[in-house]
Amino acid sequence: MIDFEIPEDDSALLDSIDRMMAKEFPPEAYREADKNYQTPWHLLPLMGDLGMLGLPFPAKYGGMEKDWRSVALVNERLAYHAGIASSLFATTVSFGGMSLMTYANESQREDLLPRLIQGNARFALALTESQAGTDAAALITRAQKISEGWLINGRKIWISNAQASDYLVVACRTTPHSRGSEGISLFLVPRQTPGIQMTPLEKLGHHCMPSWDIGFQDVVVSENSLLGEEGRGFKHVLSTLQFSRAGQAANSVGQAQRATDLACQYAKERTQFGRPIGNFQAIQHKLANMQVRVNQARLCLYQLAWLIATQRPCRLEAAQAKLVASEAFQFVTKEGMQIMASAGYAMESDMQRLWRDAGLFTFGEGTSEIQRNLIAREMGL
């Protein structure tokens, strides 16, 4: 049976997060950053100071050796305050750190994990291409062996936080004439390597997390830049999906709870026809449905975190958590906008940002349709 009791040290860390976010990135700062397309990178070293970025990693690298239940709690709490804070945390821990732990060599771990845990190393995954989105194995960016190491040529698109990253993890086809998931390798490419060109992409939401179109023209990297085994890059990415999907689910749950609380508070304060609109059954039912959807998503997240922590198989549960949480996030923000009406539609409202940002989660890092396919496959269909 899963124990929902939060340990004292985790509870203390959550309280520290509340204080940190209130001081370093309060709601008004988030509104300003969203308006001006600014990423709060100053939060990463602060997370490092609190030990958050080292939660699941061994002590020899500076980690705290906690399990994924602690990671999920922290991720969710950060998201409640600011979705971008949760995204920065998850990109660093779930993608950057767990990728290093899962398939990097020891030299790469010793070099990068201590810096990552301190909040001094930023990573971006360069996987998606114009013809390789959901069908990620259709990528055509290539890396060719040369005397100096590897020569990379190709193009990536919709790569989050690429320009500000220290390292791009680039998926390339290294076996000539290979097709599908075979013959793909991963490379750890320093952002300032000559031959990398970036163009920003305008988008509806997630203004604090810029996305980039990246060109690689005769980019030379060393032999030591190979991350994991040659030709097994796609399998390496798949081996860490449970961590990234847990991060997406936690981010969705935290922000969905924030949206529900905002709408509930508004319903208590907004008066029409001589009484608060929260007194009307129609509004009460909307809010009740919103909270139920958030609670369902949270249970899926905590189940997944428990399975990861206890090293049990979780392919179905990872897809389920991502699916249920992302769709709950969209549901509650749509209902929140309906409850708040013009007050939510105003650009100074946090609800409109939550509504805009929710859209990404049902297709980013795997569409809802793909998650349902994966669940059905795990059911033997």
CA distance 202 to 334: 23
**pLDDT tens profile 16-38:** 999 999 999 999 999 999 999 99
148 included as an active-site residue: no
Q: What are the residue ranges in the chain where pLDDT is below 50?
A: none
- The percent helix, strand, coil of the chain (3-state, each to 5) is 55, 15, 30
Full set of structural domains in the chain with CATH:
8-121 (1.10.540.10), 125-231 (2.40.110.10), 240-378 (1.20.140.10)
Q: What burial letters (b/e) apply to 33-51, b meaning 16+ CB within 10 Å?
A: bbeeeebbeebbebbbebb
Contacts of 26 (CB under 8 A, 6+ apart): none
- What pLDDT score was predicted for residue 70? 97
CA distance 379 to 381: 6
Secondary structure (3-state) at 166: coil
- What pLDDT score was predicted for residue 165? 96
**pLDDT tens profile 177-228:** 888 889 999 999 999 999 999 999 999 999 999 999 999 999 999 999 999 9
- What pLDDT score was predicted for residue 365? 86
- What pLDDT score was predicted for residue 38? 97
Given the residues 76, 365, 369, 378, select the one marked as catalytic: 365
